[in-house]
Every structure is written in C-alpha cells, then in structure tokens.
Amino acid sequence: MKLKATSLFLGLCLAILTAAASPAYAETLSATAFSAFHVEINTLTNYPGDPYLCLFENNGAVVNTCNYTVDLEFDIPIVSAGKKSITLLDGWSGLGTGSEQFSCQSFAYTGTEGSSTVGTNPSFTGPGTKITTTVTASMNDGILDAVQVLCNVPAGDAVALLNWNP
C-alpha cells in the first residue's frame, strides 16, 4: 500500500512539473511567407492580370515575378491582446530583380466595424534585410482582434519569412 501511495505521489509531482515547464503557447511563431500569403484585392485594386499566375515559391519565400506591384496580405494568428511585433525578412540577395525597397504595414481588426487599428509602416532597404512592424490588438466583449500585415511587393521582389509574438 505504501508503495502505491508513493508511486501515485511521485507520478502526480511529475505531472505538475511537466505542466509547469510547458508554456501555453510559444514565445514566437514563424511562417514562411509563401505558406502565409493571400493577394489583397479590394475596390481600389486593378491588377492588369491574375497575380496568382506570376507569384512563386523559392525556399519558402513568395517571389513576385509579375511586371507590376502586388499587394500581399499575411494573416498573423494571435492568442492574446496586447502589442504585437511582426518581423518580416526580405528576399535574400539574388532572389529578385527589383529594387528591394518596399513597405509592410500591420493592422488589427475588430470585425464589428469598418475600420482598424493601424500599426507601423517600415520599409525594406535592400535584399536580405528585416523589418519589424507593430500593432496593438484588443479584446472587446470576449472577441480578440484579428491581425494582418499588408506588403506592397514590387515586381522582382520577395518576402521570405515572418516571426511574431502571439
């Protein structure tokens, strides 16, 4: 009986230590740009062709081989309210043929109104660089804002990777 009680106690202690060592979610999340993008099309967008026919993947990067700028939207899954920092990596040297100078801006949406919280709008300055955009997500009536990043990627340029705090 004493052995069963000791085993039960040790098993319970092990379970508690395991749960304490495992965070509820990762400190940062990552996604390749190609796996996370959609083409943004709104009432102001007028692409001369179907941009999905000239966007391709190169080692996880989404590369714009169109002969025009394409607005790419990246969904950023989050699990809590607060300030969100999203780091984006530009395509590495030789990946694209464009200027490698373009911007990305973050937004938080409530889904209950036709507006958003606008985040920062940093610009890439060359191939292989990284930028960080920030936005604050809120929790209203138990509903967490949705967060996304929009990048206006010129012809020949690329976005490679995204990292963010959920």
Query: For the chain, how are helix, strand and coil distributed in percent, rounded to 5?
Result: 15, 40, 40
Number of domains present in the structure of the chain: 1
pLDDT digits (tens, 9 = 90+) for 50-77: 999 999 999 999 999 999 999 999 999 9
Q: Which amino acid is at 56?
A: F
CA proximity to 88, closest of 61, 67, 108: 61
- Coil, strand, or helix at residue 137? strand
DSSP-based three-state secondary structure for 148: strand
Classified as helix, coil or strand, 115 is coil
Which domain covers residue 86, as residue numbers? 26-164
- Does a structural domain hold residue 19? no
d(CA 32, CA 89): 10
Average pLDDT over residues 145-154: 94
Q: What is the pLDDT of residue 20?
A: 42
Q: What is the mean pLDDT of the chain?
A: 83
- Domain assignment present for 1: no
Mean pLDDT to the nearest integer, 110-138: 89
- For residue 124, what is the domain's CATH number? 2.60.120.260
Q: Is the pLDDT of residue 139 over 60?
A: yes
Q: Return the DSSP state at 145.
A: P
Of all residues in the chain, the percent with pLDDT exceeding 70 is: 79
Residue 157 belongs to a domain? yes
**Does residue 34 sit in helix, strand or coil?**
helix
Q: 0.95 cut: is pTM over it? A: no
pLDDT of amino acid 125: 83
Model confidence band, residue 31 (pLDDT cutoffs 50, 70, 90): very high
Residue 122 included in any domain: yes
Range scoring the smallest mean pLDDT among 1-10, 15-24, 101-110, 117-126:
15-24
CA-to-CA distance for 160 and 166, rounded, in angstroms?
19
Close Cβ partners of 53 (under 8 Å, ≥ 6 residues apart): none
